[in-house]
Chains A and B, each alone.
Chain A
Amino acid sequence: GAVVSQHPSWVICKSGTSVKIECRSLDFQATTMFWYRQFPKQSLMLMATSNEGSKATYEQGVEKDKFLINHASLTLSTLTVTSAHPEDSSFYICSARRTGTGDGYTFGSGTRLTVV
């Protein structure tokens, strides 16, 4: 079946540094990838939608300069949290929408980011 590999699964970084999270579709091409953020006891909130080869579409309230998203190929999207602060600590999950199947989504395993 369709697999999305997300890594790292967890990362601890110092305040002010940047962290990159990768999301790869292993056995299918993903024209669209989604990045979600999940706070404890809360829902998954969409941060941005990335389409291969074009700029990401950010949800209202999400700082595009802080959360840099790159979708340079049909199998890889990256989320870079720049100048991370403790309030950025969260669980980030990517999902990929499979080409040709309008409603097929596969999720990565998530990344637990802790900024100290």
Chain B
Amino acid sequence: AQSVSQHNHHVILSEAASLELGCNYSYGGTVNLFWYVQYPGQHLQLLLKYFSGDPLVKGIKGFEAEFIKSKFSFNLRKPSVQWSDTAEYFCAVGPRGSTLGRLYFGRGTQLTVWP
């Protein structure tokens, strides 16, 4: 069965600290990978996505993620976080070629950045 695991439920950092949020997935086929962010009171927004090609993808607001196929991982990174990065982050997997086109989400990681 498909599943997405986010290892960290709540991460607390000081401004300028580096961030890495883990994401592993379980799926037997080819997938597209996504990271979404949800700021308090707002809707989910796409941070970045991976379909194919360079496994290191860069997204908005200085975020990047690396797809490591052998590890079924798609970890999110940012070298220096800001207070405004406080939000909940969701990793999602979409089976490629699926006629349904649904996404499978991890349970989310709450990031709190102290100024």
Contact = CB atoms under 8 A, between A and B. Distances in A.
Given A46-B102, A93-B44, A103-B94, A41 B49 contact: no
A41 B10 CA distance: 10
Interface string A91-116: 00101010000110101111000000
Interface residues of B, number: 23
Given A41-B9, A43-B106, A44-B90, A102 B101 contact: yes
A6 B42 CA distance: 11
Contacts of B105: 36, 43-45
Contacts of A36: 105
User: Which one of B44, B46, B90 has the highest number of Cβ atoms from chain A below 10 Å of its Cβ?
Assistant: B44
Given A103-B49, A108-B43, A34 B102 contact: yes
Contacts of B101: 32, 49, 97, 102-103
Contacts, number: 51
Interface string B42-61: 11111001010000000000
Interface residues of A, number: 23
Interface in A16-53: 32, 34, 36, 41-46, 49
A67 to B, nearest CB: 16
A112 B108 CA distance: 18
Interface in B91-115: 94, 100-108
16 contacts: A6-B43, A34-B102, A41-B9, A43-B4, A43-B105, A43-B106, A44-B90, A49-B101, A93-B43, A97-B101, A102-B101, A105-B94, A105-B103, A107-B36, A107-B44, A110-B43
